[in-house]
């Protein structure tokens, strides 16, 4: 399995409600993450984004580009590891996001065939809201964790 193909646990998506777009989705997927998907074949970074976006981006250095795009878009939720000290976190999360939900425990991601990985992801995860509406959703979604509102003023829309 490619390193990137770690899918969001479905209970997390379910708790957050319907999304309009997943710009980085698997080509073959066991469930829908959003109403519309872009895959590696489309290159989601080069496509127009609209509506409420779900973002569990490709890992590594690439992730910063995706977070920057969602921060500019201004409406949606991202899921990344809670590496709060990194350049990426300071540039695209602390300074631009509307709220955070630090999830309790560690997530078990899923394989592209839908099965749950036996081991957890090895690090804590955080959900990041961009925009006031998604901050409210994180606050009331029912996922266990620590909710942290941020004072950031969001700039809406890049598309």
Ligand X SMILES: C[S@@+](CC[C@H](N)C(=O)[O-])C[C@H]1O[C@@H](n2cnc3c(N)ncnc32)[C@H](O)[C@@H]1O
Give the interface with ligand X as residue ranges (CB under 6 A): 4-8, 22, 24-26, 33, 38-40, 43-45, 56, 58
Residue 153 Cβ vs ligand X, minimum distance, rounded to whole Å? 27
Looking at the Cβ atoms of 6 and 89, the one nearer to ligand X is 6
CA distance 9 to 16: 12
Residue 150 Cβ vs ligand X, minimum distance, rounded to whole Å? 23
Looking at the Cβ atoms of 6 and 130, the one nearer to ligand X is 6
Residue 22 Cβ vs ligand X, minimum distance, rounded to whole Å? 5
Scanning the chain, the segments in alpha helix (DSSP H) are: 10-16, 63-73, 87-89, 132-140
Looking at the Cβ atoms of 45 and 64, the one nearer to ligand X is 45
CA distance 87 to 84: 9
Looking at the Cβ atoms of 37 and 96, the one nearer to ligand X is 37
For 46-85, the DSSP string reads: GS---SSEEE---SGGGHHHHHHHHHHH--EEEEEE--TT
- Token pair belonging to 29: 């997927």
Residue 110 Cβ vs ligand X, minimum distance, rounded to whole Å? 7
Contact yes or no for 31/52 (Cβ under 8 A) = no
Residue 151 Cβ vs ligand X, minimum distance, rounded to whole Å? 28
Looking at the Cβ atoms of 3 and 153, the one nearer to ligand X is 3
């Amino acid at each position: 399995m490619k390193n990137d193909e770690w899918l969001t646990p479905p209970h997390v998506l379910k708790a957050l409600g319907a999304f309009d777009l997943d710009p980085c989705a698997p080509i073959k997927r066991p469930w829908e993450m959003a109403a519309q998907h872009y895959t590696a074949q489309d290159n989601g970074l080069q496509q127009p984004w609209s509506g409420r976006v779900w973002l569990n981006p490709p890992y590594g250095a690439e992730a910063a580009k995706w977070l920057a795009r969602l921060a500019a878009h201004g409406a949606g939720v991202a899921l990344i590891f809670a590496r709060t000290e990194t350049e990426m976190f300071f540039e695209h999360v602390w300074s631009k996001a509307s709220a955070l939900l630090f999830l309790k425990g560690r997530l078990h991601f899923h394989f592209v065939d839908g099965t749950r990985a036996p081991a957890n992801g090895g690090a804590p995860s955080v959900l990041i809201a961009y925009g006031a509406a998604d901050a409210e959703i994180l606050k009331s979604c029912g996922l266990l964790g620590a909710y942290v509102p941020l004072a950031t003023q969001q700039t809406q829309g890049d598309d």
